[in-house]
Amino acid sequence: MAKKITSREENYSQWYLDVIDAAQLADSSPVRGCMIIRPHGYAIWENIQKELDRMFKETGVKNAYFPLFIPKSFLEKEAKHAEGFAKEVAIVTHHRLKQGENGKLVPDAPLEEPLIVRPTSETIMYDTFSRWIQSYRDLPLLINQWCNVVRWELRTRPFLRTMEFLWQEGHTVHATKEEADRETLAILEIYRKFTEEHLAVPVIAGYKTESEKFAGADYTTCIEAMMQDTKALQAGTSHMLGQNFAKSFEVKFLDEKGESRYAWQTSWGLSTRIIGALIMAHSDDKGLVLPPKIAPIQVVIIPIWGEKEEEKNNVFGAADNMAEKLKNLGLSVETDKRDARPGVKFFEWEKKGVPVRIEIGPKDLEADSMIVVRRDTGEKETVAMDSAEKRIPALLEEIQKGLYEKALKFRKDNMRAVNSWEEFTGYIPEAKEGEAEDAKSGKGGFLLAHWCGQAECEAKIKALTKATIRCIPFDQPEEDGRCVLCGGASKKRVIFAKAY
């Protein structure tokens, strides 16, 4: 069953699919564009949920659950939002199956008003919020929902873009613009912190341009990560909705003077897509590489024994002891006692991205030590049994830090300022007609370039090179410059890149 993983060099897209397959993260499903998240992949999502949920709740956010279905008329209410979302969606039109003539089941009982499977929940939530909120005392309202959403995507890729995906969507309501602005940024900061500190994926935080912002928002903020093929991946977004939805859905409150006012709102989301980023940021040609803080299994212990029963018992005993010790430190440990060759086991856990492997054999027992192997670098070391409780946690921290630093260095090496269209296209060339998306051409990367601020220029650059403005970074200093395409005046560089 051990299919070889295609190397990144050979075919990056195939490598990504092979890693997912080899690590048993996900599987294709009989429903076009929907994937099955396998236990190892789902355990990563559970860890993501646990940590993010804790971070949201610390700020006062509470979880709730709203219906899967949205009445079609709701999607018609906010014009810009409708433009963006009322397109490729799953539509429920019937509510019964009846026996057809050839023994097949056929849809029956048409609905008066079709229902849309939620692509996002602004409309259904805000309709309700308008009833929940009476006065300023009910604000801020801070709601989050963990759920599935459906967007009818044509081209899908596991985790990165699937028709159905899992996510959290936060929706908050505030009395003032300032509060809503603050909330938008506070949540983006949670996303940044989580992605950098837990997933070890460095990101650049910034604003989306007008053409890339969320349909119905005043502005959108985002975090963008660089993958190993130097393409960008948007890992989370936080939107300031202004009063756009409040006006469409009558989300109003009585202020302290008893005057009725429209509320200010935000929405923000992070999805299973981020598992795609996690995979592509760290993994190698041997398979998945996971940062310890998010790995479902942090340490795997592999006992090695010969034919003697006594030897087996001793080695198993030592492995159990070590597992117990490490578990008591709060680590997630698996002991692999299956009757298989050690090499087979090494190979399997390597593919699954377990950060640390411990080997305990008869000779190790004699020396009261064990062999410890890092998944990320492959480095081996001998660790005395009685120093394991110090060394293993320290090693996990080193790995966590090492992965982040490595990814950060990679991004720095592949991010540069460019000052002319010639320079720009030296890295991201103009795409030729009919060229395959993944054709190797130019070094790619993140290009810090001046842009005049015109949507036309942005669109032209996209049409020519497939590069989009990933974000206008928060921390980019102002400087006078000329648009890389049209030469118009610009005050700030933005990041251009090809993106997932």
Tokens representing residue 30 in the block: 């009989």
Q: Which of 10, 11, 59, 63 forms a contact with a copy of itself (CB under 8 A)? A: 63
Site pattern 134..153 for a copy of itself (x: CB under 8 A): ---------x---xx-x-x-
Terminal C-alpha separation, the chain: 30
In degrees and rounded to multiples of 5, residue 447 shows phi and psi of -110, 120
Q: Which of 10, 11, 54, 96 binds a copy of itself (CB under 8 A)?
A: 96
Q: Which is nearer to a copy of itself, 146 or 410 (CB)?
A: 146
| 20: amino acid identity, one letter | I
Closest CA to 279 of 95, 2, 17: 17
Q: How far is it, in rounded angstroms, from Cα 116 to Cα 294?
A: 34
Stretch that binds a copy of itself, among 109-117, 212-220, 307-315, 386-394 (CB under 8 A): 109-117
* 249 vs 404 by CB, closer to a copy of itself: 249
Is 344 near a copy of itself (CB under 8 A)?
A: no
Among 10, 11, 59, 94, interactor with a copy of itself by CB under 8 A: 94
Task: Name the residue among 461, 430, 463, 424 with its Cα closest to residue 446.
Answer: 424
**Window 64 to 93, contacts with a copy of itself (CB under 8 A):** 64-72, 74-76, 82, 86-93
Examine residue 59 and tell whether it contacts a copy of itself (CB under 8 A): no
Does the protein bind a copy of itself through residue 436 (CB under 8 A)? no
- Of 451, 447, 461, the closest CA to residue 482 belongs to 451
Cα–Cα distances in angstroms (integers) from residue 5 to residues 23, 172, 230, 500, in the given order: 10, 44, 20, 21
Number of Cβ atoms within 10 Å of the Cβ of 4: 8
Can residue 104 be called a binding residue for a copy of itself (CB under 8 A)? yes
Q: How far is CA 192 from CA 48, 52, 98, 185, 262, in A?
A: 13, 11, 50, 10, 30
Residue nearer to a copy of itself on the CB measure, 61 or 301: 61
DSSP 9: T
Q: Which is nearer to a copy of itself, 68 or 486 (CB)?
A: 68
Q: Shortest approach of a copy of itself to residue 137 CB, angstroms?
A: 9
Instruction: Work out how close the CB of 289 gets to a copy of itself at its nearest, in angstroms, rounded to a whole number.
Output: 22
Q: Applying CB under 8 A, which of residues 164, 169, 218, 359 lies at the interface with a copy of itself?
A: 164
499: left (phi over 0), alpha (psi -120 to 50) or beta: beta
Q: With binding defined as CB under 8 A, does residue 341 bind a copy of itself?
A: no
Residue placing its CB nearer to a copy of itself in the complex, 82 or 499? 82
Toward a copy of itself, which CB reaches closer, 74 or 214?
74
Taking the C-alpha atoms of residue 92 and residue 314, their distance in angstroms, rounded to an integer, is 61
Contact 80, 216 (CB under 8 A): yes
Cβ-based burial of 463 (10 A; exposed 0-12, middle 13-18, buried ≥19): exposed
Do residues 299 and 333 lie in contact, with contact meaning Cβ atoms separated by under 8 Å?
Answer: yes
Beta carbons within 10 angstroms of residue 498's beta carbon: 22
Output 76 or 435, the one with its CB closest to a copy of itself: 76
Judged by CB under 8 A, does residue 327 bind a copy of itself?
no
Pairing of strands 446-450, 203-207: unpaired
CB closer to a copy of itself out of 1 and 306: 1
CB of 133 to a copy of itself, least distance (A): 13
Closest CB 188 distance from a copy of itself, rounded Å: 23
**Bridge-partner residues for 380, per DSSP?**
373
Binding piece for a copy of itself, criterion CB under 8 A, among 108-116, 175-183, 214-222, 359-367 = 108-116
Contact with a copy of itself (CB under 8 A): which of 22, 116, 360, 483?
A: 116
- Residues of this chain, 22-41, that bind a copy of itself according to CB under 8 A: 27, 29-31, 34-39
Could you tell me whether strands 369-374 and 356-360 are parallel, antiparallel, or unpaired per DSSP bridges? antiparallel
Q: Are the CB atoms for 150 and 35 separated by under 8 Å?
A: no
- Number of residues counted as binding a copy of itself (CB under 8 A): 61
Helix or strand run (H / E) with residue 374: strand 369-374
Residues 6+ apart with CB under 8 A from 361: 303, 304, 305, 315
Please tell me what DSSP assigns to residue 175: S
Q: Is residue 128 within the footprint of a copy of itself (CB under 8 A)?
A: yes
Choose between 6 and 148: whose C-beta lies nearer to a copy of itself: 148
Residue closer to a copy of itself (CB basis): 46 or 210: 46
Given the rule CB under 8 A, which residues bind a copy of itself? 27, 29-31, 34-39, 42-43, 45-46, 62-72, 74-76, 82, 86-97, 103-105, 107, 114-117, 124, 127-128, 131-132, 143, 147-148, 150, 152, 164, 166
